[in-house]
Amino acid sequence: MINKYEKILTVICDYNGINREGLICILKDKKYKYLLLLFLKKYKCFDLTKLKEDFSMESKKSINYGCKKAEEKFFVNKEFRELYFEMEEMISKII
């Protein structure tokens, strides 16, 4: 589970050309936060305690709300969907 978690984080960092420390800053952009939540859910490596630890996400309720909003954005926003599929292709190659 942690292995998949780390690989997903690596792909997001590589895609944006940042190091792991910069990931916190990039996740302030809701688009990438939502992508992270969708990928963690898809690959079944969604660990609430790890998310709270690594990214200071405040509560289970806020994380679940973020997941719901991410799914809504996926269905409504074409650009977001394209970005999702592009990153998913990268993730599927390394997982």
Integer angstrom CA distances of residue 2 from 44, 46, 69, 76 = 10, 9, 24, 31
Alpha-carbon distance 55 to 20, whole Å? Answer: 11
pTM for the model stands at 0.88
Per-residue pLDDT tens for 17-45?
888 888 888 888 899 999 999 999 999 88
Indicate the pLDDT class of residue 2, thresholds 50, 70 and 90: low
Alpha-carbon distance 93 to 95, whole Å? Answer: 6
